[in-house]
Structure 1
Amino acid sequence: MRIFPIITATLVCIAIFLAVFQREALVDFAARFGAQDSAETAAQATPPAQEIAQDDAEDGRVHVLVRRSTAQITENAVPLRGRTEAMRAVTVAAETAGRIVSTPIRAGAYVETGTVLCQIDPGTRLTAREEALAALESARARLPEAEAQLAGARAQLTAAQIDANAAARLSESGFASETRAAGAEAVREGAQAGIQSGEAGVAQARSGIRSAEAAVTRAQEEIDRLTISAPFAGYLETDTAELGSLLQPGSPCARIIQLDPIKLVGFVPEAQVDRVAVGAGAGARLASGRDVIGEVSFVSRSADERTRTFRVEITVPNADVTIRDGQTADILIRSVGIPAHLLPASAMTLDDSGTLGVRIVTDGMVQFMPVRMLRDTATGVWLTGLPDMADVIVVGQEFVTDGVAVRVSYDEVTQ
């Protein structure tokens, strides 16, 4: 006969009986045993701990943990939310009407400056230019004839003046009648009128030449408008106009953008615009996670009427054109470094008026100091508004107020 299974079964039965039918007695026994152990543990407390607790109670000062912080020059930055923007973006449009006779270039293609995007059928424009050229030649041919007539009129005037003078002198000396002198004077006046007519003819001929030259220029410009070229090197955002389509003045031929370099555009609040200067370094993180670096190239001098913010542009190299137009970007613009303290965020508190600050210890007394947070980091927050060296309360600041005497323990972390 096996004795151990019988003993085990008996003990299990007894345990079940106590747990079910004698539960209250079992709980009372366990409570008395635990209280006895606690009393023994308290009796074994070390005399130094008891003395410290007794000293704290007799002192009456609040015990706080302080970190001695020294100001450091930290690079400050102005954060902005913005987007990427093409350096140039133009919709090239037609300046004259006509049918497209060129094969379209598809979107995404890279084009150089002067690349023909759209070619319009010339129609009768070439004929109009030939007519204008012919009219110009005719006008130029009339000019020598008018000048010759003017020269003849001047010669006649000279001869008439000689005859008139001679007749006048003969009439005065009695060798010729007054009638002859009057006739010579009339001839001179007629020659004078001929000169005026000749000058008018020359002016008219020259005016005709200028008018014909203007007509030729207009005809040539109309022909030049038939060819729509890329104004700068870039990428097509749309297909060029399809073969056979009819364009009117203002109709789009294609849209072209330049992406190298590219701009980052943000809007800085008026309270921080003085911290941003042209030439300052800047960095940004795009929505895709890519980090880029550039330089501030423009700060607006006029605020937006609705938002009271100022436009800021940052030029970023984009040789591989992987940065696209219109991407969201978180921008940081470098500003002048200022002294600041790196402290844990938990050290900050509010005074009775709701001002953000920290509490420091000066000569054993608590003093509230308003602060301004520059930025948050993984190791703490950078704060300004404190002395170059300050004993900042990092534990217990919520239990004291200005002018309260405290007992100080220093944090191991020292800057």
Structure 2
Amino acid sequence: MSLHHEFPLMKSWRLIVAALASVCVAAISAEPATAQTSLRGETPLIAEYCQVRYIRKVDIPAEVEGKLVDLPIEEGMNVAKDDLLALVDDTSARLALEFKKAEEKEAQLNAANEVNLKDARNNEELARAEAESFRELYEKGATPYYEMKKKVLEAIRALLRIDLAEMQKKIAEAQYIAKRSEREIAEFELDRRRITALFDGYIEMRIAQLGEWVQPGSPIATLVQLDRVRVGGDIDALASNGVVRAGVPVLVRVFNTADPDQNFEVKAPLGFVSSEVDGQKRYRIWVDVDNQKDSNGNWMIKPGMEAEIIFQ
């Protein structure tokens, strides 16, 4: 083959070799980046066995003995804080309160009464003037000593009566405070017969019946909080080292098995991380989330639903 035909062929091979070398260099240089991307794209840390629970679920008790005369609740009702749930017969408590109010009023009038104190001051002023007059008469020899001495002692006794009147006024004021406290106790006893909701909630179960005789501690109804619920689960202690701590942001996903379109997601700070690792090397954690209602007015998150807590 002549040199004239060899040069173009060699030139072509050189171009092919150069192209292959460029591809290899690019592939080699791309390897670390691929590895780094793989590390950054690790599977997110997800808590196991997560489930929705109540934050507050309380059996509301009766506080006093008596007959239930009002029970305006039914299962499934939403109630607000301080709404009346039941009423124990309060006839005797109301009468006792009226009696204590009357006693308090009497004590208040006695405490404000200054008639005795003013009378004692006036008598002391008169007795003192008489004692001075009899002393002058005695010095002039116009009256015997015992008459003068009698008037002096009467002036001293009048002064003591002022002290007595002041003391009686202080006693009346203290009695008024005591009667006022007794009236407040009577109001408290009347209030104890009104069984009210401790928080905004939902009547999960009505236990008592209208007309039933209840004892202190007898459960009236089960009240649960649904506007805010708790999602709790377990997290691998080894995989979560340094990542899981109270306050870190997490994504909470609640699954509605009956209607997957109603699955619920919300971001919230982690509320609690247990200090104890169980036998399976896991921490217990939970996060509180605000519940929401759907278009029909039903709560979207219900206790017992399965969930996930994802650390982002």
Q: Same fold by TM (over 0.5)? A: yes
Change (3 A) 1:303 1:89: same
- The equivalent residue for 2:36 is 71
- Per the TM alignment, residue 100 of structure 1 is displaced from its structure 2 partner at its CA by 0.9
Q: TM-score, normalised by structure 1?
A: 0.55
- The equivalent residue for 2:101 is 133
| 2:275 paired with 1:303 | yes
| 2:214 paired with 1:247 | yes
Q: Is the 8 A contact 2:237 2:283 kept in 1?
A: yes
State the identity %: 23
Change (3 A) 1:182 1:77: farther
One of 289, 299, 302 as aligned partner of 1:315 = 289
Change (3 A) 1:305 1:122: farther
Change (3 A) 1:161 1:315: same
Q: CA RMSD in A?
A: 3.4
Q: Is the 8 A contact 1:277 1:299 kept in 2?
A: yes
- Per the TM alignment, residue 177 of structure 1 is displaced from its structure 2 partner at its CA by 6.3
Q: Which moved more, 1:210-219 or 1:302-311?
A: 302-311
Q: Distance in 2 between matches of 1:212 and 1:296?
A: 52
One of 164, 171, 180 as aligned partner of 1:213 = 180
One of 60, 69, 74 as aligned partner of 1:92 = 60
Structure 1 residue runs of 5 or longer lacking an equivalent are 1-66, 335-415
User: How is 1:14-413 mapped onto 2 (pairs within 5 angstroms)?
Assistant: 69-72=34-37, 73-74=40-41, 77-81=44-48, 82-103=50-71, 105-144=73-112, 146-164=113-131, 179=146, 182-268=149-235, 272=240, 274-275=242-243, 276-278=245-247, 280-286=249-255, 288=257, 290=263, 292-300=265-273, 303-304=275-276, 309=283, 311-320=285-294, 321-334=299-312
Q: Distance in 1 between matches of 2:271 and 2:47?
A: 15
Q: Distance in 2 between matches of 1:221 and 1:232?
A: 20
- Per the TM alignment, residue 316 of structure 1 is displaced from its structure 2 partner at its CA by 4.5
Q: Which has the larger share of strand?
A: 1
- Per the TM alignment, residue 273 of structure 1 is displaced from its structure 2 partner at its CA by 6.3
- Per the TM alignment, residue 97 of structure 1 is displaced from its structure 2 partner at its CA by 1.7
Residue-by-residue CA offset, 1:280-331 (whole Å, 9 max, x unaligned): 032335483745333125235x724977846432425332313212334332
> How many matched pairs?
267
Structure 2 residue runs of 5 or longer lacking an equivalent are 1-30
Q: Distance in 2 between matches of 1:260 and 1:199?
A: 60
Q: Which letter does structure 2 place at the counterpart of 1:319?
A: K
Change (3 A) 1:317 1:137: closer
Q: Which letter does structure 2 place at the counterpart of 1:118?
A: A
Change (3 A) 1:316 1:78: farther
Q: Which letter does structure 2 place at the counterpart of 1:295?
A: A
Q: Distance in 1 between matches of 2:93 and 2:288?
A: 47
- The equivalent residue for 1:51 is none
Q: Which has the larger share of helix?
A: 2
Q: Distance in 1 between matches of 2:131 and 2:276?
A: 82
Change (3 A) 1:281 1:172: farther
- Per the TM alignment, residue 226 of structure 1 is displaced from its structure 2 partner at its CA by 2.1
- The equivalent residue for 2:11 is none
Q: Is the 8 A contact 1:95 1:249 kept in 2?
A: yes
Q: Which letter does structure 2 place at the counterpart of 1:108?
A: G
Q: Distance in 1 between matches of 2:153 and 2:285?
A: 81
Report the secondary structure of 1:262's partner residue: strand
User: Computing the radius of gyration over CA atoms, which structure comes out larger, 1 or 2?
Assistant: 1
